[in-house]
Amino acid sequence: MIKELSYRQIDATLKWTATVLILIGAILTSLAIDPWNIYLMNVGTLVWLIWSLRIRDNALIVVNAGLLIIYLMGVGRVILQ
């Protein structure tokens, strides 16, 4: 039988997943490994945005939505090359 996850467990999973993805993306950026760095940063920021929306924290929503737009410009750059 599938165990139900509590809101706290879901929140923790979202935050840690996003954190790991963004840190790996930052490492890839420092090693100039394109475009995987951009992809991971986008996914990580999207997960942080989802978590921010879940807890209704306006400051985190704004910063993560802004970062997602910036990172999506990077994806656009990769696609246009």
Whole-prediction pTM: 0.87
State the average pLDDT over residues 61-78: 93
Per-residue pLDDT tens for 31-62? 999 899 999 999 999 999 999 999 999 999 99
Alpha-carbon distance of 60 to 64, in angstroms, equals 6
Alpha-carbon distance of 54 to 46, in angstroms, equals 12
Are the CB atoms for 75 and 59 separated by under 8 Å?
no
Residue spans of the domains in the chain: they are 7-80
Residue 4 has pLDDT above 80, yes or no: no
Q: How sure is the predictor about 5, in pLDDT bands with cuts at 50, 70 and 90?
A: confident
